[in-house]
Amino acid sequence: MFTKTVVLPVDIDEAFALITEPERLRRWQTISARVDLRVGGDYRWTVTPGHTAAGTFREVEPGRRIVFGWGWEGNADLAPDTSTVSIDLEPVAGGTQVTLTHEGLTGKQEAMHAEGWNRYLGRLDKAIATGDAGPDEWSAAPESLDELVAAEATLAVLQNVLRQLTAEDRPKQTPCAEFTCHDLAEHLFVSMATFGSMAGVEVTIPEKGPLENKIATMGAQAVEGWRVRGLEGTVPGRHGDIPAAFAAGVMPVEFLLHAWDMAQGSGKTMVVSDEVVAYVHKLAEQVVPGGRGSSFADEVTASPGADPMERLAAYSGRRAV
């Protein structure tokens, strides 16, 4: 059994929100999070690209305690809902005492989860201090990249850029001549819905919350739909059926290029590993040529000493603004 107690410098309601609300969870622990916070409700947290924890809530006492099943999608040794996490909250001087207990693990599993819980509870402290723990190094270079792992990795990059945007950034021009930052956000709404429909799921725009919350929620719905569907066979395209793997591979290309567009247009910081960029560049070599003249402009020459992301942008017909 693993257990750890920390004191968070926030009141008990804020502490409870930080460990249960998707928008808060994305600030320190997850790329995406779906939460149905009631006894019997399920959750799905993509912690790092290709690694998604899932289970159901067994106890929910708002502001006091939650208990939920824990395991990993695609992991036969620790499947979803096969271990138990309990989180107890208690008001103390200076904030809220949070005690996390994880039971039902083998010795090896306990050691691995101890490393993870210790790390992410540290990121939670940082998120409280700064508002956001920032890009997660564990998400930067996934071990086994495929189209869907790359989609999760690039969705994380996109979300981190969107989180920095302000109302003043809305009218700023991006490297896409037809898109301001606001226009590009509306384009992403349509793209997310299209990606979901190709996988056979309906993607809906949240009514409330900031832009990052809307894009993150829709992106998670689309990628989860693809996780369920898989990459085999074909899906409906604009001009007939297309290979499913090709269609799924469009997601990381669009997520990463539009993250760069937003960062360039707004002057905000974008953090992405060379490994992820290199993989997405290979996908772009399949996607971009057929879209030149419509979705993509002609390739431009990258500047001397350009980094991998700048070279990918140049390949897609973009110049820095």
In the chain (321 residues long), the average pLDDT of successive 10-residue segments reads 97 97 96 97 98 98 97 97 98 97 97 97 96 94 94 97 95 92 94 95 91 95 97 90 96 98 96 97 96 90 92 93 75
Q: How far is CA 197 from CA 21, 153, 205, in A?
A: 26, 21, 14
Q: Where do the domains of the chain lie, and which CATH numbers do they carry?
A: 2-130 (3.30.530.20), 138-315 (1.20.120)
Tokens of 304: 């001397």
Q: In what order do the strands lie in the sheet with 42-48?
A: 2-8, 95-103, 83-92, 65-70, 51-61, 42-48, 32-35
Please, where are the H alpha helices in the chain? Answer: 12-20, 22-25, 107-130, 137-140, 147-162, 181-198, 211-229, 244-266, 274-287, 308-315
DSSP class per residue in 124-169? HHHHHHHS---S-HHHHS-SS--HHHHHHHHHHHHHHHHTT--GGG
Q: Name 187's Cβ contacts closer than 8 Å, sequence gap at least 6.
A: 179, 258
Q: Name 273's Cβ contacts closer than 8 Å, sequence gap at least 6.
A: 140, 141
Cβ–Cβ < 8 Å for 241, 251: no
β-pairing, 234-237 vs 95-103, is: unpaired
pLDDT confidence of residue 207: 85
Best CA proximity match to 263, nearest among 217, 214, 309 = 309
pLDDT confidence of residue 319: 86
Q: Is 145 exposed, middle or buried (0-12, 13-18, 19+ CB in 10 A)?
A: buried
pLDDT confidence of residue 294: 85
pLDDT confidence of residue 29: 97
Cβ–Cβ < 8 Å for 8, 126: no
Residues in the chain: 321
pLDDT confidence of residue 178: 86
Q: How far is CA 103 from CA 64, 67, 69, 115, in A?
A: 19, 11, 10, 15
The whole-model pTM stands at: 0.95
